[in-house]
Chain A
């Protein structure tokens, strides 16, 4: 893992401890079994907010700690290990980024402190179909009112504010809509990975423009993508470690199955891919913190690479556990389901491979 500053090490260690003590995978299972409306445990979210996690990328003048995206990525990675559900990515990363990069002073001072405290939740509403296609947004804003349909809005049911992509008088841009506006109708989606999401229909909902147009959308999306990739890294690493532990204890044919070379080599392949993916994810987060012009290509690299790796590891977790990997009682199914949802979020591997090439001119 990257060489960390003292602050970053402390943040990561704090996240590790909290996750181990307060949010093991059993907490996710409990949330799922309770049919949680929100898609996360509100008490757990309060604890995270109290530790300052929702304000990690928010400037201090708005109540945040301004530690940056790599720091937030370290926290997201730890949460990803145990599939901990929360609006941290949607709100503390994505919505906050939109406001920081494109919000007016009034929008920032109204919403960022609440987002940092965890008392308001923001969510990004970009896609309108089954596949990520941000440039194809057809929602419209006319006379300050937004009309259109958005799909697969992560944490859409929990959100107090929605950051919506739509075509305004100046072209494509992001708009802030309050979810309690009478023109907003939300339908809860019951996803395979039990996380919160909604389809949302807007009819003349009051919309405040953020400035930055289509460029702002890409910048915010790249930050969201990097955040998802960081969470995926944690989930994939944990899925691998759990599987590795199983290889060391399960006995068949008079020996531990981890002594069979075919399984050893498959484990070595996963380890290799995880190390490569870690490099790509950390490089993308560092580039965002440095505001590098390479952010788009490094983010697409990270999302594509991480997606392929988590895809492989999630499949191998089920397969290598044999029959018990197929039971709901085992955690393997959770990691498999989360993997596909995370792969699809903000552009899957194919989307990002294509984007990587387009950015480089081929």
Chain B
């Protein structure tokens, strides 16, 4: 990716490289970000030191305003930091929902007091956030949510239930959509914040088909949210929620359209040669499988080319490229197809759940195949994405009464 800076950015790059070299613990080089693992154990001394250093520098949220502890840097400088971290085998220890979606939203809609109170802790990685949006009865139709917030003067009392709350079992605070007016659908929703560490909040992890529990049910029984933690106007939460979901979608696109990576790292053709074999011309010996592998690799390549094109067009033209609307569906499809092909390639070695007789990679492939089924459901399901493309991009008529 081209940066448009010159000598200034070169000087910054040197600064970034030197600072990382001075502050990134050598023992963590090449190690994965502990936040990416679902089981959270107490951080090692090195991990903690790295988090504190990056937190203080503000480089975990490099483009956020320095007034709230962020780096106050440009997009170009932020990219340089990322590049230099990659080169040093270093992860960004500051992350989570607070960075990805809540922080940017609060910076746009929050009061000065709210920003002062909440942003610095996100930047330092001191506070982890979870998202209280979906409910058992409100998934794709999020605006039909029913969790109620009763006005008690200086606070709200919240009663109800959220579901699919990612990382709720590790979260300190929750940004939550609540119903403050039952007579209107979209205009009866408010956006409130509250601490997870209170008696009225109960978290139950949900075990998935993949065996892990990245998401939770969250129950609220007279949970308390301070009035000062109402973001935006009363009953004006839906607009803020939509903006936050845009941030979420950009964040997911950055991770490969929400397809991300589930499962095996080895290229499909390499796996096929190992598990299936080749003919005398060096071609994967199962011709039917070979064709389907090729198709997946072609579609994956075209998807990557589209990501590059969308980015160049967003920079060069007058706004976001139309191509961005297709990214989640296109990305999740190739990822899911790849996961299915991986299983097929491995044959009976692709049926293991755990234990002996299977390698770690084989088990990871199976778990990844299962977990990957979620990607066409969360963050705007495949069907909702198709609706967005057909109605908002293609202009086909909307006869449902939706916003």
B282 interface neighbour in A276, A304, A305, A361, Cβ under 8 Å: A361
Q: Does A17 contact B (CB under 8 A)?
A: no
Q: Does A319 contact B (CB under 8 A)?
A: no
Contacts of A279 in B (CB 8 A): 302, 305-306, 308-309, 323
Q: Which residue of B lies closest to A282 (CB)?
A: B309
Q: Is the CB of B294 within 8 A of A275?
A: no
Q: Does A133 contact B (CB under 8 A)?
A: no
Q: Is the CB of B391 within 8 A of A255?
A: no
Contacts of A258 in B (CB 8 A): 396-397
Q: Does B317 contact A (CB under 8 A)?
A: yes
B306 interface neighbour in A255, A256, A275, A361, Cβ under 8 Å: A275
Q: Is the CB of A301 within 8 A of B301?
A: yes
Q: Per-residue CB proximity of B375-400 to A under 8 Å, as 1/0?
A: 00000000101110111011111110
Q: Is the CB of B302 within 8 A of A3?
A: no
Q: Per-residue CB proximity of B127-166 to A under 8 Å, as 1/0?
A: 0000000000000000000000000000000000000000
Contacts of B299 in A (CB 8 A): 276, 305
Q: Does B13 contact A (CB under 8 A)?
A: no
Main SS class of interface, B: helix
Q: Per-residue CB proximity of A278-320 to B under 8 Å, as 1/0?
A: 1110110000000000000000010011000000000000000
Q: Per-residue CB proximity of B278-303 to A under 8 Å, as 1/0?
A: 10001110000011011101110111
Q: Does B5 contact A (CB under 8 A)?
A: no
Q: Does B241 contact A (CB under 8 A)?
A: no
Q: A2-B312, A264-B386 are in contact. Are A301 and B326 (CB under 8 A)?
A: no
Q: Does B329 contact A (CB under 8 A)?
A: yes
Q: Is the CB of B396 within 8 A of A353?
A: no
Q: Is the CB of B394 within 8 A of A357?
A: no
Contacts of A247 in B (CB 8 A): 396
Q: Is the CB of B302 within 8 A of A267?
A: no
Instruction: Tell me which residues from 302 to 338 in chain B have a Cβ below 8 Å from any Cβ of chain A.
Output: 302-303, 305-306, 308-309, 312-313, 315-317, 322-323, 326, 329-330
Q: Is the CB of B396 within 8 A of A301?
A: no
The answer for the CA separation of A202 and B394 in the assembled complex, in Å, is 52
Q: Per-residue CB proximity of B3-44 to A under 8 Å, as 1/0?
A: 000000000000000000000000000000000000000000
Q: Does A356 contact B (CB under 8 A)?
A: yes
Q: Does B273 contact A (CB under 8 A)?
A: yes
Contacts of B187 in A (CB 8 A): none
The answer for the CA separation of A282 and B396 in the assembled complex, in Å, is 28
A248 interface neighbour in B282, B308, B395, Cβ under 8 Å: B395
Q: Which residue of A lies closest to B393 (CB)?
A: A271
A276 interface neighbour in B295, B303, B322, B393, Cβ under 8 Å: B303
The answer for the CA separation of A343 and B269 in the assembled complex, in Å, is 26
Q: A305-B298, A357-B294 are in contact. Are A268 and B306 (CB under 8 A)?
A: no
Q: A248-B397, A279-B323 are in contact. Are A264 and B390 (CB under 8 A)?
A: yes
The answer for the CA separation of A358 and B269 in the assembled complex, in Å, is 11
Contacts of B306 in A (CB 8 A): 275-276, 279
Q: Does B272 contact A (CB under 8 A)?
A: yes
- Min CB distance, A242 to chain B, in Å? 13
Q: Which residue of A lies closest to B333 (CB)?
A: A272
Instruction: Tell me which residues from 228 to 263 in chain B have a Cβ below 8 Å from any Cβ of chain A.
Output: none
The answer for the CA separation of A280 and B306 in the assembled complex, in Å, is 8
Contacts of B395 in A (CB 8 A): 248
The answer for the CA separation of A8 and B389 in the assembled complex, in Å, is 29
Q: Is the CB of A275 within 8 A of B298?
A: no
Report the interface size for chain A: residues with CB under 8 A from the other chain: 39
Q: Is the CB of B282 within 8 A of A267?
A: no
Contacts of A248 in B (CB 8 A): 395-397
The answer for the CA separation of A276 and B282 in the assembled complex, in Å, is 30
Q: A3-B317, A354-B294, A357-B283 are in contact. Are A261 and B326 (CB under 8 A)?
A: no
A362 interface neighbour in B269, B383, B386, Cβ under 8 Å: B269
The answer for the CA separation of A282 and B306 in the assembled complex, in Å, is 10
The answer for the CA separation of A281 and B59 in the assembled complex, in Å, is 39
Contacts of A362 in B (CB 8 A): 269, 272-273, 278, 282-284, 290, 293
Q: Is the CB of B302 within 8 A of A264?
A: no
Q: Is the CB of B399 within 8 A of A265?
A: no
The answer for the CA separation of A272 and B326 in the assembled complex, in Å, is 6
The answer for the CA separation of A255 and B272 in the assembled complex, in Å, is 50
Q: A276-B306, A279-B305 are in contact. Are A267 and B294 (CB under 8 A)?
A: no
Contacts of B302 in A (CB 8 A): 276-277, 279-280, 301, 305
Contacts of B397 in A (CB 8 A): 248, 255-256, 258-259
The answer for the CA separation of A1 and B385 in the assembled complex, in Å, is 21
Q: A259-B399, A356-B298, A362-B284 are in contact. Are A267 and B390 (CB under 8 A)?
A: yes
A272 interface neighbour in B283, B295, B329, Cβ under 8 Å: B329
Contacts of A353 in B (CB 8 A): 291, 294-295, 298
Best-surrounded residue of B272, B298, B301, B330 (most CB of chain A within 10 A): B298
Instruction: Tell me which residues from 1 to 47 in chain A have a Cβ below 8 Å from any Cβ of chain B.
Output: 1-3
- Min CB distance, B248 to chain A, in Å? 21
The answer for the CA separation of A261 and B389 in the assembled complex, in Å, is 12
Contacts of B389 in A (CB 8 A): 267-268, 271-272
Q: Is the CB of A357 within 8 A of B305?
A: no
Contacts of B305 in A (CB 8 A): 276, 279-280, 283
The answer for the CA separation of A244 and B393 in the assembled complex, in Å, is 12
- Min CB distance, B232 to chain A, in Å? 32
- Min CB distance, B93 to chain A, in Å? 35
Q: Is the CB of A3 within 8 A of B316?
A: yes
Q: Is the CB of B316 within 8 A of A265?
A: no
Q: Is the CB of B330 within 8 A of A276?
A: yes
The answer for the CA separation of A357 and B294 in the assembled complex, in Å, is 6
The answer for the CA separation of A1 and B383 in the assembled complex, in Å, is 26
- Min CB distance, A358 to chain B, in Å? 7
The 9 A-B residue pairs whose C-beta atoms are closest, nearest first, are A3-B316, A264-B390, A279-B305, A268-B389, A362-B269, A268-B386, A279-B306, A272-B326, A276-B302
9 A-B pairs (CB sep. < 8 Å) = A244-B396, A258-B397, A259-B396, A264-B391, A276-B326, A280-B301, A357-B269, A361-B282, A362-B284
- The residues of A with any CB-CB pair to B shorter than 8 Å are 1-3, 244, 247-248, 255-256, 258-259, 261, 263-265, 267-269, 271-272, 275-280, 282-283, 301, 304-305, 350, 353-354, 356-358, 360-362
Given A271-B394, A304-B298, 16 more pairs with CB closer than 8 A = A1-B313, A258-B397, A264-B387, A264-B391, A265-B383, A267-B390, A268-B329, A268-B390, A269-B386, A276-B330, A280-B301, A280-B302, A305-B298, A305-B299, A353-B291, A362-B282
